[in-house]
Each structure stands twice: as C-alpha cells, then as structure tokens.
C-alpha cells in the first residue's frame, strides 16, 4: 500500500485489547486496520477462561446478549493444596446468577475473539489475518507505518497501537517494553477437557448456566512459585497451571509434567475423571506488576494489554478487563489525536493520563508488591502448606485427646519448624498477596 492509502489507526494484534481499540476508533469514523498474525482472531490467543465484561458493556451495551459465553461464574473458591489434600474457602452468591451476572463469564477464546472481531468489522474496521508485522516504517526520523510480511507489504498510518502480546518485539524496538526477567515471567499450560454437561453440573453442584472458578495455590505447582485453576464451560473444563520461569528452573520442573501432577492431585482428579482432552495450549504471562511497566507511548505509538504488562496476578486473576480498558482508552486517545490532527506525544500522552485515572493502574498499584513478595517468600508455596496441613488435620482428628492438650502439643511441634518471628513475617507477606 502507498502512503496515499494510509489509515488513521494501525492496530497490531487481534486480541481483546487490540480489537477494543479498533472498535472504539472505527465506531467514531476513523479508518482502522487491525493486523492479526493468526488465521483468525483468537487462533493464537490463550488465557485461563474467565472473561470480565464491564468494559465491553461500556462500549457495546446492545451487543452483550449476543456474546458466545459458556457459563456465568457464580461460585469462586481458593484452595491451598498440600501434598495429598487441600484447605479451601470461597463463596457462592445467588445474586451472581442474575443480571448483570457480576460481569464474569467463562468463555472459549477462539469463539469469543472471533465474535468480537466480527463486531469490530461491523463498526468499520478492516481486519487482515495472517499478517506478521516485522518492523516500523521510519521516514525523516518519524514512524509512518509498519512493514508487514504479506502481499500488502508496507502499511501506512498516523498512529500505531501495539497489542501484540507479552513479548512485544515492536515495543522493545522502541524502548517501550522491558525485557521480562525470569522471576516475572510465568509459563502457563492449559488443557480443555470434555465431559458431558450433566456430569459437570453434578460434580460442581451447578444449576443450568452457573459456573465455577477454582484457584489453587501451594502445591498446585508442586511447591514452585505458581498456581493452578479449574473453570467450568458448558461441556468442557478448562484446567491449567503456571509457574515463574525462575522457579521452574530452580526446581528443574517441566511445565507439562507440572500440569500432569496437578491433574492427578487427589483434590483435582475427581473433577476431570473420565474426561477427554480436546485442546492443549501454553503461553507466557507477564507478572511484572506496576513497578515493571515501561513508558506506554511515544510519538504515533501506544502500547496496550499484555504488551504493556497489564495483568493483575493477585487473588483476583484479572487480565482481559485490564486489556480491554487499555484498548478502550487507546482508541479514545486516537480519536482525540485525529480531532486535533496531532499524533505527537503532546496529545498521545493523554493515553497514560487516562490510564492513571482508571482501575487498570490503580489496581496494579495496589498490588505492586505482589511479584517480589512471592519471589522472596517461597515458603508460602511448600513449607507453609505442609505446616498448615499438619495443624488442621491433627486438630480435626477425632482420637479422644483433649483439644487444649492437642493444641499445645501441635503449636510446640510447629514452632520447632518455624519461629514465631518467621510466622509473623510470613503473615505480613501473605497479607500483601490477599489484600
């Protein structure tokens, strides 16, 4: 394409962040092209399985009823896995079975992203699939577009929104993406396991459209710094586990072996027994936290979603809503830049300003200490689950021993394994993870 055929906005990446940015800009009348390297939007996109719709309801409220969702998440549970058991807590609210369903659903990304891409095209955006972007077009020291590995070749545009995922090579070229350290990069592996719908409802005690989100810590990753999950779909279960690259190397664990361990754990296996594996996927997850975020813009460029490191890896495990909110704000910033006919940092800086006012940055700031807290307290994943298992199991063992005697004996035994100072220090560390 020649410079005379340039677009207002070029979006690199057809995931939730990129599609949202493209939808918002196209809806306002801007000429938008979205470049997706997969055969279709969603073909190469991987995530756990929970989709939060609060942002989607803002930008296309009339389309929500059309979403291809699996189940409404009405029940959430967090479990500390021990070598052969679990200690769990959670909630289930009937209110979540009613509109607006807490804006929480399980989805299959291949289906959902395809649907979202269709809505984005209906808004006026052009989507080119099988389009790998290799570099920027730079003329007179200014970014004018991107070099694409396809028939169209060079594509020109006034603004480029980078939504190309966790390892954004394009953002790195511009110094807008820090190299992810091993302790801040999670390798996630996931399977989708088929089971009859009635069996899923029976095993998880679900009503017709209700679903669950179960999160697992401690021995979920066999003592490595990581976690696991189970999410229910209509007639499949999404199950997966993830751990930091550094922890995997230290324990000499293979991610695939870790998934097999998790699936066969006595607290997990009953949920997936007799199931048939339908899909397998692996991907990287940024776990840098707020302190790992690089500059998010420069002249003609904004970075959104995973490419910017927008993942809340706390107990809330949020990512898609952060990605879409950053995409929405980027799309609105592009509209403002078009109105002013100014694509420089002076106008593009509105993106960062609005992000700082949004839940994206505010939530990431709140949990900014989480990544380093987990890295510096590996006992939360192995030693402490073992201690808690011993204490809870023995306290609830019915053997005729008076509870006061048992409590004193157990506390004495546990203090031989960990000092009071150690317990207090770890309690403060755990508070940062939970609160």
* CA separation for the pair 231, 227 (Å, rounded): 14
Query: Predicted confidence band at 9 (pLDDT cuts at 50, 70, 90)?
Result: very high
- Ordered by where they begin, the domains of the chain are 3-70+107-178+291-357 (3.50.50.60), 182-286 (3.30.9.90), 372-434 (no CATH)
In 229-298, which residue ranges form alpha helices assigned H by DSSP?
A: 245-251, 255-263, 269-272
Query: Predicted confidence band at 192 (pLDDT cuts at 50, 70, 90)?
Result: very high
Which tens digit of pLDDT belongs to each residue from 74-96?
999 999 999 889 999 999 888 88
pLDDT of residue 48: 65
* CA separation for the pair 273, 84 (Å, rounded): 17
How many Cβ atoms from other residues are within 10 Å of residue 198's Cβ?
9
Residue 208 has pLDDT above 60, yes or no: yes
Three-class SS of residue 215? strand
Which tens digit of pLDDT belongs to each residue from 152-170?
789 999 999 999 988 899 9
Query: Predicted confidence band at 139 (pLDDT cuts at 50, 70, 90)?
Result: very high
Which tens digit of pLDDT belongs to each residue from 349-399?
999 999 999 999 999 988 887 777 777 777 777 777 888 788 888 888 888
Q: Average pLDDT, stretch 10-37?
A: 97
Q: Do you find a cis peptide bond into 141, omega within 30 degrees of 0?
A: no
Three-class SS of residue 230? strand
pLDDT of residue 1: 58
For residue 295, give both structure tokens. Answer: 């500059």
Minimum mean pLDDT among 196-200, 223-227, 262-266: which range? 223-227
* CA separation for the pair 279, 380 (Å, rounded): 31
Give the DSSP letter string of 81-133: E-SS-EEEEEEE-GGGGSTTGGGEEE--HHHHHHHHHHHHHHTT-EEEES--E
Q: What is the pTM of this model?
A: 0.90
412 vs 344 pLDDT, higher one: 344
Q: Average pLDDT, stretch 276-290?
A: 88
pLDDT cut 70: percent of the chain above it? 95
3-state percent breakdown (helix, strand, coil) of the chain, nearest 5: 45, 25, 30
Mean pLDDT of the chain: 90
52 vs 315 pLDDT, higher one: 52
Q: Count how many residues are written for the chain.
A: 435
85 vs 425 pLDDT, higher one: 85
Minimum mean pLDDT among 56-60, 325-329, 403-407: which range? 403-407
Give the DSSP letter string of 128-163: EES--EEEEEEETTEEEEEEESSTT-EEEEEEEEE-
Residue 24 has pLDDT above 80, yes or no: yes
Query: Predicted confidence band at 180 (pLDDT cuts at 50, 70, 90)?
Result: confident
Could you identify the residue written with the tokens 């999950």? 229
Tell me 182's DSSP state. Answer: G
Give the DSSP letter string of 8-68: EEEEE--SHHHHHHHHHHHHTT--EEEEESSSSTTSS----SEEE-HHHHHH-GGGGGG--
Write out the H or E segment, with its range, that includes residue 406.
helix 403-417
Query: Predicted confidence band at 133 (pLDDT cuts at 50, 70, 90)?
Result: very high
pLDDT of residue 3: 56
* CA separation for the pair 131, 394 (Å, rounded): 59
């Amino acid at each position: 394409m020649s410079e005379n055929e340039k677009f207002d906005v070029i979006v690199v990446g057809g995931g939730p962040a990129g599609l949202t940015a493209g939808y918002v800009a196209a809806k306002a009348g801007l000429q938008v092209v979205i470049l997706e390297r997969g055969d279709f939007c969603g073909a190469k996109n991987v995530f756990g399985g929970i989709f939060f719709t609060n942002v989607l309801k803002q930008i296309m409220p009339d389309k929500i009823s059309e979403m291809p969702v699996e189940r409404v998440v009405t029940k959430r549970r967090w479990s500390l896995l021990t070598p052969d058991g679990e200690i769990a807590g959670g909630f289930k609210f009937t209110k979540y079975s009613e509109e607006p369903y807490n804006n929480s659903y399980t989805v299959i990304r291949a289906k959902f992203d395809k649907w979202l891409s269709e809505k984005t095209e209906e808004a006026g955006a052009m989507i080119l699939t099988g389009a790998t972007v290799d570099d920027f077009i730079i003329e007179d020291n200014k970014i004018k577009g991107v070099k694409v590995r396809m028939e169209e070749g060079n594509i020109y545009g006034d603004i480029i929104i980078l939504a190309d995922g966790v390892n954004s090579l394009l953002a790195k070229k511009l110094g807008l993406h820090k190299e992810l350290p091993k302790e801040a990069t999670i390798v996630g592996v996931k399977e989708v396991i088929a089971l009859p719908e009635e069996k899923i409802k029976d095993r998880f005690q679900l009503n017709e459209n209700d679903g669950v989100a179960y999160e697992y810590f401690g021995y979920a990753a066999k003592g490595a710094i990581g976690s696991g999950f189970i999410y229910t779909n209509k007639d499949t279960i999404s199950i997966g586990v993830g751990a930091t690259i550094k922890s995997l190397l230290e324990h000499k664990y293979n991610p695939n072996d870790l998934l097999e361990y998790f699936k066969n754990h006595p607290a997990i296996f009953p949920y997936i027994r007799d199931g048939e594996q339908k899909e397998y996927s692996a991907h990287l997850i940024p776990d840098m936290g707020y302190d790992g975020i690089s500059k998010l813009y420069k002249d003609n460029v904004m970075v959104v979603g995973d490419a910017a490191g927008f993942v809340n890896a706390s107990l809330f495990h949020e990512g898609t809503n952060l990605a879409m909110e950053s995409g929405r704000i980027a799309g609105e910033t592009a509209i403002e830049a078009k109105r002013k006919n100014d694509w420089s940092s002076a106008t593009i800086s509105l993106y960062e300003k609005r992000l700082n006012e949004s839940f994206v940055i505010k939530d990431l700031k709140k949990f900014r200490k989480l990544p380093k807290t987990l890295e510096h307290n590996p006992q939360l994943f192995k030693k402490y689950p073992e201690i808690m298992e011993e204490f809870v199991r023995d306290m609830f063992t019915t053997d005729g021993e008076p509870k006061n005697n048992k409590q004193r004996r157990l506390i004495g035994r546990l203090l031989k394994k960990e000092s009071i100072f150690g317990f207090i220090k770890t309690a403060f560390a755990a508070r940062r993870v939970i609160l």
